[in-house]
């Protein structure tokens, strides 16, 4: 009877850890997708609201704030694009 209880507890722990893993991966995916949707893609000025201008200004912001390991560069690039009129 003792082995049965230990085996049952082991199965419960394994199932809880697999559920937690799925929850963590799901949360990571949701946060990643929501972060991508925060990048500005429309300009207040209708004359500048086109792909060519967007790409040129995004490259300017990327050069001004090169990639950093901590991810701070993404926030800075978004601020840079906001200053250029993109929201």
* pTM score: 0.60
Q: Is 42 exposed, middle or buried (0-12, 13-18, 19+ CB in 10 A)?
A: exposed
pLDDT digits (tens, 9 = 90+) for 12-40: 767 788 888 888 888 777 776 666 668 89
The pLDDT score that the predictor gives to residue 77 is 94
The pLDDT score that the predictor gives to residue 61 is 96
pLDDT digits (tens, 9 = 90+) for 42-83: 999 999 999 999 999 999 999 999 998 888 898 999 999 999
- Scan for tokens 């049965």, then name that residue: 4
Q: Minimal CA–CA distance to 61: which of 39, 80, 87?
A: 80
């Amino acid at each position: 009877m003792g082995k049965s209880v230990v085996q049952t507890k082991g199965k419960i722990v394994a199932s809880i850890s697999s559920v937690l893993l799925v929850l963590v991966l799901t949360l990571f995916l949701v946060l990643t997708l929501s972060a991508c949707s925060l990048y500005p893609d429309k300009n207040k000025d209708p004359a500048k609201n086109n792909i060519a201008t967007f790409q040129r200004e995004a490259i300017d912001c990327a050069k001004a704030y090169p990639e950093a390991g901590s991810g701070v560069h993404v926030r800075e690039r978004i601020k840079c694009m906001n200053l250029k009129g993109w929201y």
